[in-house]
Chains A and B, each alone.
Chain A
Amino acid sequence: MRTKLTLAALALALAATPADAKELRFAFQGDADSMDPYTLNETFTLGFLGNVYEGLIRRGPDLSIEPALAVRWQIVAPDRWRFHLRRGVKFHEGEDFTADDVLFSADRVRAKGSDLTTRLAGVKEIVKIDDHTVEFVTEAPNPILHVEWGSWGMMSKSWAEKHNAATPEAMADDQEKYTTRHANGTGPFRLVSREAGIKAVAVPNPHWWDNANKEHNLTKITFTPIASDATRVAALLSGQVDMAYPIPVQDIGRIDRNPGTRMLVGPELRTIFLGMDQFRDELLYSDVKGRNPFKDRRVREAVYRAIDIEAIRRKVMRDLSNPSAMMVGPGINGFSADFKRLSHDPEWAKELLAAAGYGKGFEVGMDCPNDRYVNDEAICQAVVSMLARIGIRVKLNAQPKAKFFPKILAPRVDTSFHLLGWTPGSFDSWNPLYNLHGCPRLGGAGPIWPEGARDRISQGKVNLGGYCNPKVDALAARILSETDKAERDRLIKEAWSMTISDIAYIPLHQQALAWGVREGVTVAQRPDNQFAWRHVRVK
């Protein structure tokens, strides 16, 4: 059944003959929060806008870096990158794309109200050489300067200024920012309309620079956010959408069995892990007084060995997870299959606990989200029962993300044991080494998570267990500026060996992406869970 959803659709159907109208209708559980590409650093929002806006580079279906608005680039000096811009590119509303737009976008992405300031972290200066050449000067050599630029879309200077949107900051006096509902990029699709939380419509850009090589055959894209899992699945099963994601694990079999639909399942980049408080002298929510069991590596190893990751994969994740020995998954630079998980061995775990002086076990509180990751609460419940077997009594506190994150993130860091997930936006190991493993302190030898100054922590800002190994910090600093690829990869591996042997965290798994598509529709499933319409073909 192909119900025309809107009058706009009707108008379009009248304009084009039905035979060559190829509409993609898709549903996701949430909506893009804004059409301003710099307001929120979040996968779906950036992925949606990545179809409308383009960066200097773009990512292919396998996440490889491809030239986009820059045709090529070179490192002219260790701290100086030169980008040659594509000529003849126009924005959707007709403005020419030039170096001035790059400079403007750089200013805007670093302005107040931007959530993407890290895209240009460490960039000292941007120099316009001519209309189609720009140079980025960095404070220190940075071999991965451009890797996150696939989601830094170029905006038109004249357009943004005309609409009073030169910064991403919210307007005063209840005024709506123009860019909240309007977009003007150079990308393969242009936004036609958007009603937040209801619907967004886009059409192909007939003047796209890469139209000669285009893969897609779409004439229209209609996006509907459908929050309820059951409704989203029903919409796909009844053929009212061509693609829907995420599909809850319990419905995957049903979509595959249904003749008109099939599942696309692939590994995601996010790693789910357990964090343990290793900096407080006494655990929160625990009956152990005067000391902190998690400071003892044997206790951390006992927890690790108590967890039956295969049982979690089979029972909780229904085979849709990839147990991980590392804090990064395949697809992230620095991942190595050489690292293996510690074996599941509850008896050994009990011995380790006894050797550490906790033969009778101990009590600890655990924080867990219940609406953030795939089956997050169920994973925590499984962990609780597995730890109970070795005598660790866990009091689980599973909450919605709006309550969970403020509790456990800095400045409160009100947790001694938690489940969390992390995706390195740069697809590179430096990001988790720095954010999750760096010592969260100010200066070289200060206290970990200093009270009152936590807001100023940058290194290790999500290192909620306060793991601290100065050697890892030193390696991370070298990785950041090492420009020789082989040497850099060697340093990354060395750093991972250290954190893994320290048991800084207990990695659990990479969850699987679960996209449902209608038969006759081909899409490219990117491991970063971004949906690029330019790879879609509809029969």
Chain B
Amino acid sequence: MIALVIRRLLQSIVVMLAVALIGFTLFRYVGDPVAQMVGQETSLQERAELRERLGLNDAVAVQFGRYVGDIARGRFGISYAIDRPVADLIAERLPATLELSFVAALFALIAGIPMGVYTALHPTRLLTRVFLTISLIGISLPTFFIGILLILVFGVWLGLLPTFGRGAVVDLGLWTTGLLTASGWKSILMPAFTLGMFQLTLIMRLVRSEMLEVLRTDYIKFARARGLTDRAVNFGHALKNTLVPVITITGLQLGSIIAFAIITETVFQWPGMGLLFLQAIQFADIPVMASYLVLIALFFVVINLAVDILYHVVDPRLRIDRGVEAG
């Protein structure tokens, strides 16, 4: 187990270096930050000096080396656009993104699993067809469109929910949360729904097909033959055996939720990292873009590691194999 973790950690460093390198190579094509750091009256000479001072004239390899060296010393640089340390900016924006992602994932799980179970147990009922249609919409409509539609209906027409922002936020020192206030909850409903819609669909369909599979197996038939109640059969045996792949998928999807929050955050002006990243792209704000990519890579690496470990914990067969090997 420890060997696995160490091996994975070493691989992670390589992955993150690769992400940073690819990111840095791409930044050459994003544009020149200097054009936006100064106004139209600024002389050409001043522009050239600024470019030199930021080290933008150096070769990409040199800039990359300098960046990796700085990160290794815990320095993420100063944002060109906002003129503040990138580390501070990300620390301020991270809670918003993580909160949104977790609420979205939780929503997808809490709604997705029962819907999946229901559609598997009652394949012909009307409600099943409704659920399946909804899931089709959820998978085929682009996120930004769902978001704008929700804003139009619940924000503009009905006036029930705020159309942008995070609502009232409570500062807990290192963390800011909107989950302790009513307006914070009202604000998170639409973005979390938008972001979680795709995951919900995925989980529902996964649970449904797994469940249908399990319900056909012999041990379910035997359980019924023994006269167990439907409830015990469906939830005690069938659902339990369905959940292993669901846990894996959910874990892996959490990384995507965090990464793909960019679009949802833009539509709802959600003050998270995705919004910061998008603003950084428009500005060609290289320090922010680079740090964001590295951080997202870190999330994926950590989540993958956690899922791997979880797999070993949950699935007895993997443990037995290892035991045999060791023996």
Contacts and interface: CB of A to CB of B under 8 A. Distances in A.
Given A197-B271, A410-B44, A234 B85 contact: no
Contacts of A411: 44, 48
A235 B78 CA distance: 32
Contacts of B84: 176, 180-181, 196
A34 B82 contact: yes
A64 interface: no
A41 B38 contact: yes
B45 A197 contact: no
Interface in B20-41: 29-41
Contact of A403 (B31, B44, B83): B31
A231 B271 CA distance: 14
A195 interface: yes
A224 B167 CA distance: 12
Nearest to B34: A406
A192 B41 CA distance: 31
B37 A40 contact: yes
A240 B43 contact: no
B77 interface: yes
Contacts of A39: 83
A114 B92 CA distance: 28
B42 A41 contact: yes
A231 B163 contact: yes
A501 B83 CA distance: 45
A175 B77 CA distance: 9
A330 interface: no
A338 interface: no
Given A174-B87, A227-B275, A3 B167 contact: yes
A177 interface: yes
A42 B278 contact: no
Interface centre among B38, B156, B159 (most CB of A within 10 A): B156
A interface secondary structure, majority: loop
Interface string A413-436: 000000000110100000000010
Interface string A386-430: 000000000000001111111001110000000000110100000
Contacts of B33: 402
A211 interface: no
B100 to A, nearest CB: 14
A36 B181 CA distance: 33
B32 A406 contact: yes
A403 to B, nearest CB: 4
A238 interface: yes
B198 interface: no
B170 interface: yes
A174 B284 contact: no
Interface in A172-210: 173-177, 180-181, 195-199
Contact of B31 (A41, A199, A237, A402): A402
Given A4-B183, A239-B159, A401 B151 contact: no
A371 B152 CA distance: 25
A240 B164 contact: yes
Interface in B139-183: 148, 151-152, 155-156, 159, 162-165, 167-170, 181, 183
Contact of A174 (B29, B31, B77, B169): B77
Contacts of A454: 44
Interface string A232-245: 00110111100000
Contact of B165 (A5, A40, A176, A227): A5
Contacts of B159: 1, 238-239
Contacts of B77: 174
Nearest to B76: A174
B163 A228 contact: no
A410 B47 CA distance: 10
B45 A227 contact: no
B168 A41 contact: no
A400 B30 CA distance: 9
Contacts of A238: 155-156, 159, 163
Contact of A228 (B42, B48, B267): B267
B282 interface: yes
Interface residues of A, number: 68
A33 B83 contact: yes
A9 B167 CA distance: 11
Contacts of A231: 148, 151, 163-164, 266-269
B282 A400 contact: yes
Interface residues of B, number: 62
Given A5-B167, A197-B82, A461-B43, A230 B151 contact: yes
A439 interface: no
B36 A402 contact: yes
A7 interface: yes
A118 B82 CA distance: 23
Interface centre among A1, A3, A228 (most CB of B within 10 A): A228
A101 interface: no
A174 B269 contact: no
Interface centre among A1, A3, A226 (most CB of B within 10 A): A3
Given A33-B83, A231-B268, A224 B165 contact: yes
A163 interface: no
A181 B278 CA distance: 21
Given A7-B168, A230-B151, A234-B152, A457 B83 contact: no
A275 to B, nearest CB: 14
Contacts of A34: 82-83
A37 to B, nearest CB: 13
A402 B32 contact: yes
Contacts of A287: none
B186 interface: yes
A170 B282 contact: no
Nearest to A173: B75
Contacts of A490: none
A456 interface: yes
A462 B40 CA distance: 9
B146 to A, nearest CB: 13
A458 interface: yes
A455 interface: yes
Interface in B169-209: 169-170, 181, 183, 186
Nearest to A462: B40
A404 B35 CA distance: 9
B304 interface: no
A230 B268 CA distance: 10
B170 A7 contact: yes
B117 interface: no
Given A231-B269, A238-B156, A455-B45, A4 B151 contact: no
Given A5-B167, A115-B42, A231-B164, 14 more contacts: A41-B42, A115-B41, A176-B78, A177-B83, A181-B84, A231-B267, A238-B159, A239-B159, A240-B162, A401-B35, A402-B284, A404-B31, A423-B40, A462-B40
Interface of A: 1, 3-7, 9-10, 27, 33-34, 36, 39-42, 115-118, 170, 173-177, 180-181, 195-199, 224-228, 230-231, 234-235, 237-240, 371, 400-406, 409-411, 422-423, 425, 435, 454-458, 461-462
8 contacts: A5-B165, A33-B83, A118-B41, A195-B92, A196-B84, A234-B163, A402-B284, A458-B44
Closest CB pairs A-B (n = 9):
A41-B39, A402-B31, A406-B32, A405-B35, A198-B271, A403-B31, A402-B284, A196-B82, A234-B163
